[in-house]
Amino acid sequence: MASYPEMPCQELVELLTDYLEGALSQVDRERFEEHLKSCRHCRTYLEQMRQTIRALGRLPEASIPEKAKAELLEAFRNWNKGKGA
């Protein structure tokens, strides 16, 4: 593996969905997996998310009311605003 900047835990958490969906670039996937090798807390978090997905399955998009979908999307878009990011 090439030498890439170390991935902090917060970045791993932010990229978790893309990792699980196979949507990370090769570089980010390698950084993600390298971080997991040395961080038991992030390995635990990843496994908890996998268990949650297995337990709940996938919620069909059609079953989400449009208003709720719009509110959720807005909340996700704005979750980091105001944190001085």
What is the dihedral sign for C-alpha 13, 72, 23, 53?
positive
Residue 84: pLDDT over 70: no
Please give the pLDDT value at position 66.
86
pTM summary value: 0.64
Q: What does the pLDDT look like over 17-71, one tens digit per residue?
A: 999 999 999 999 999 999 999 999 999 999 999 998 888 876 666 677 889 888 9
Of residues 46 and 76, the one with the higher pLDDT is 46
* Beta-carbon contacts of residue 8 (< 8 Å; ≥ 6 apart): 35
Domains and CATH numbers, the chain: 9-78 (1.10.10)
